[in-house]
Amino acid sequence: MKQMIVAFLSILMMITVGCSSNSVQSEDEKETNGSTISITDFSDRTIDFDQTPEKIVSLGNGETDIIYALGEDVVGRPTGDPVIDESKDALEVGSTHSVDLEKITSLEPDIVLGNHPMNTNDVQAIESIGSEMILTSADSVDDIKSQVTLLGDLFDKGEKSDEIIHRIDEKIDQIEADLPDEKPRVLLVYGAPGTNMAALPNSLSGDILELAGGENIASDYPSLDAYPQYAQLNTERIIESNPQFILLMSHGNPEEVKDSFIEDMSNTAGWNELDAVKQDNFIILPADLFGTNPGTKVVDALDYLHELLIETKE
């Protein structure tokens, strides 16, 4: 009788454990199948997804570059020459400055990548077509790294995003070890027809300049209200600072912008005595690396500027 009781208890225990295991397994399966991906964008909006987004529209070149660097692709891209050859067949959908909602709607995207704060007012329209809008920005190299991390989390590409960030950090460390004791003095200008502004350190190009080993002569210029990453040019202070390099960024016709800038400045007393002018160090920077977010190619931007400043100075 005692043996029968022990056997019965053993069987009961096995059944109980089995049921418990099945119950736990079911809960695990339920949690996995119903899990959500949650990200917080640069506007502090928390956005949840039931599954990894598949159809992506990007309004910015930098974000497009990051998407492809992570091994994903886009169905919609910024209007203009593609920064990524593989994206050339994607539909052109405008830009962060001018969103083509009709074209975006036709693509039925899961997500639209826009700029904070530029596209804040477009969020409601994008959500009204059944898509989610993720806002990011790039006013520094650290911001680009944060973009990589955010999108890596969204697409479950954490290992790949870590590799990209490691390459950026490695390049910064490499440049830092090669910096001269005296940094070359630089005026970094954003030019457009009829408008020239000095880029400040809180702009992406200004941050790249300082990391690459340049001294921004406009670092303490007062920022413009409408464009807080830029300042009005001050001819007297430029002459006083005597920059060794004048670097120009432009999205339009860079040679035309350069000629216009020189024409305006050449009437200023002392212009011809600037080191940058005497040494012909007035240089137009590559549009795909400066003046816009280059995405993961920020490594190339750092490399380009460091070699330009240090090698030319030597």
Q: What mean pLDDT do residues 164-191 have?
A: 95
Q: What mean pLDDT do residues 5-33 have?
A: 37
> How many whole angstroms separate alpha carbon 250 and alpha carbon 260?
12
Q: What mean pLDDT do residues 33-40 have?
A: 78
> How many whole angstroms separate alpha carbon 123 and alpha carbon 76?
17
- pLDDT surpassing 90 at residue 30: no
- pLDDT surpassing 80 at residue 35: no
- pLDDT surpassing 50 at residue 25: no
Confidence of residue 258 (pLDDT cuts 50, 70, 90): confident
Q: In the prediction, which pLDDT does 209 show?
A: 97
Give, rounded to a whole angstrom, the gap between the first and last alpha carbons of the chain: 99
Domains of the chain, residue spans: 37-173, 180-313
Domain range 180-313, CATH architecture? 3-Layer(aba) Sandwich (3.40)
Q: What mean pLDDT do residues 104-127 have?
A: 97
**Of 7-16, 32-41, 131-140, minimum mean pLDDT range:** 7-16
- pLDDT surpassing 60 at residue 19: no
Instruction: Round the average pLDDT of the chain to a whole number and report it.
Output: 88
Closest Cα partner for 67 from 31, 109, 127, 36?
A: 109
Of 221 and 311, the structure prediction assigns the larger pLDDT to 221
Q: What mean pLDDT do residues 258-265 have?
A: 84
Q: Quote the pTM value.
A: 0.87
Confidence of residue 13 (pLDDT cuts 50, 70, 90): very low
Reading the block at residue 44, the tokens are: 């502090």
User: Cα dihedral angle (279, 284, 285, 286), rounded to 10 degrees?
Assistant: -140
Q: Do 37-173 and 180-313 agree at the fold level?
A: yes
Please check whether residue 62 is in contact with residue 144, taking contact to mean a CB–CB distance below 8 angstroms.
yes
Of 198 and 194, the structure prediction assigns the larger pLDDT to 198
Q: In the prediction, which pLDDT does 100 show?
A: 98
- pLDDT surpassing 90 at residue 127: yes
CATH for the stretch 37-173: 3.40.50.1980
User: Which residues does 192 contact at the CB level (< 8 Å), separation at least 6?
Assistant: 250, 251, 252, 257
